[in-house]
A = this chain, B = another copy of it.
């Protein structure tokens, strides 16, 4: 027997990076509540509360709307591996890291991947996506609604319309948009969408909410080859979380508790009010940052309401300024990476973090940091 080991004592960070985001007390409390078994009626009851709320934030009536027992990256892998395989021609629109990752996952599944690329931080026009899809005539299309590496919003209407014209299904990455901006899965025509728990939903990381259209589920049911992934197989998950309640894996109960509480907070606020709050605080933060002389990487109207990417001014030291924020204010923001390493900051205002007083704190602390470092 070793001597007594002190309990862990995490620092209190103000999480204003691209995620994880601040977590409400009610959500933390749920994490400490007693667990039940993964086949307990109470677990299925929680799950049946979660699913309609997920439909609400996604803007969909898809019956197959549920939660994967993995992070947002598992959601991406699930979306790709259920639908993309050796017989797939997969067009991916790439102007940032996460779209690149979708293409990489498609490549690993053995698909013919067509990368349609622009420099990081740009968006694709309706004409560009239409031209690419009609030219390539893919069976699957992938894009990112909210590119976490750049701060860009990419509209999906033209992508989905052209894709459906050629019989393709559309995968949309909603990791940094869900719960903060209108995604409108059904109205846009998105077939498969995935997200995470730790950004707009303001829960700890660990779960991936997904939604899949009936059209897409029908294609999956008709698939002749075996799905390589067992853990993320939508047909098996449908038997667990859907009507049959058939054992598949042991779901992370405590994370489901947290997500239930996070979604209850969204239902209490109302999604429209929540979107409006994110937009208002976004506009105020941009005005504040511009008031400090910073320029935004992304032009209006392509900016995310969740993640702000000011360009690092010439002569200023990225790391020094982030260290100042962390040391003086316990504020955690992120730098850029890949093509944008050292060129931008990434400042998140999502979920519980998107508050008027946080805007003021960020503008004040960034001003001090820019003057000091």
Contact = CB atoms under 8 A, between A and B. Distances in A.
Given A28-B32, A31-B31, A205-B253, A229 B108 contact: yes
Nearest to A231: B77
Given A105-B230, A268-B1, A8 B30 contact: yes
Given A20-B37, A250-B198, A253-B204, A267 B69 contact: no
A230 B101 contact: yes
Interface of A: 1-5, 7-13, 15, 17, 19-20, 23, 26, 28-38, 40, 42, 46, 69-74, 76-77, 81, 101, 104-105, 107-110, 196, 198, 204-206, 226-231, 247-255, 257-258, 260-261, 264, 267-270, 273, 332, 337
A271 to B, nearest CB: 10
Given A37-B13, A42-B10, A273-B1, A70 B231 contact: yes
Contacts of A107: 226
Contacts of A81: 228-229
Contacts of A105: 230
A196 to B, nearest CB: 7
Given A2-B270, A71-B251, A206-B255, A36 B11 contact: yes
A220 to B, nearest CB: 15
A293 to B, nearest CB: 27
Nearest to A69: B71
A206 B104 contact: no
Contacts of A273: 1
A26 B35 CA distance: 14
Contacts of A72: 249-250
Nearest to A25: B32
Given A29-B7, A254-B204, A255-B252, A231 B1 contact: no
A250 B73 contact: yes
Contacts of A108: 226-230
A4 to B, nearest CB: 6
A205 B38 contact: yes
Nearest to A68: B70
Contacts of A11: 34, 36, 40, 42
Given A31-B254, A42-B10, A229 B332 contact: no
Contacts of A46: 8
B205 A252 contact: yes
Contacts of A23: 34-35
B206 A206 contact: yes
A228 to B, nearest CB: 5
B8 A257 contact: yes
Contacts of A270: 1-2
